[in-house]
C-alpha cells in the first residue's frame, strides 16, 4: 500500500508543477492538469484516511486497558 501511496503523491506533485508551468504556455491544458491533480489528491486523501482507520482499528484491538 505504501508504494501506491508514494506513487499517488508523486503523481499529485507532477500534476501541480505541470499546471503551474502550463499557466504561461497553454491555459486550456491547465484545466485538464488541475482536474488530474484534484483526482490524484482525492485518491491520496482516501488512501491516508483508509490507512488511519486501519491503524485505529489495530490500536483498538491491541488495547490493554481491561487488564
Domain housing 33? 2-60
Residue 1, SS3 per DSSP: coil
Instruction: Establish if 40 belongs to a structural domain.
Output: yes
Instruction: Establish if 67 belongs to a structural domain.
Output: no
Question: What is the rounded CA–CA span in Å between residue 38 and residue 64?
Answer: 41
How many domains does the structure of the chain reveal?
A: 1
Judge contact between 40 and 18, C-beta under 8 A.
no
pLDDT at 5: 85
Which residues of the chain are modeled with pLDDT < 50?
A: none
pLDDT at 67: 60
Question: What is the rounded CA–CA span in Å between residue 46 and residue 48?
Answer: 5
Instruction: Establish if 66 belongs to a structural domain.
Output: no
pLDDT at 66: 62
Question: What is the rounded CA–CA span in Å between residue 12 and residue 46?
Answer: 13
Instruction: Establish if 9 belongs to a structural domain.
Output: yes
- The runs of H, that is alpha helices, within 1-67 are 2-22, 27-61
pLDDT at 38: 92
Instruction: Establish if 65 belongs to a structural domain.
Output: no
Amino acid at each position: 500500500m505504501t508504494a501506491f501511496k508514494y506513487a499517488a503523491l508523486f503523481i499529485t506533485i507532477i500534476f501541480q508543477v505541470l499546471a503551474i508551468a502550463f499557466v504561461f504556455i497553454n491555459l486550456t491544458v491547465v484545466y485538464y492538469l488541475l482536474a488530474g491533480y484534484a483526482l490524484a489528491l482525492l485518491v491520496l486523501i482516501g488512501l491516508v484516511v483508509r490507512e488511519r482507520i486501519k491503524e485505529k482499528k489495530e490500536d483498538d484491538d491491541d488495547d490493554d486497558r481491561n487488564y
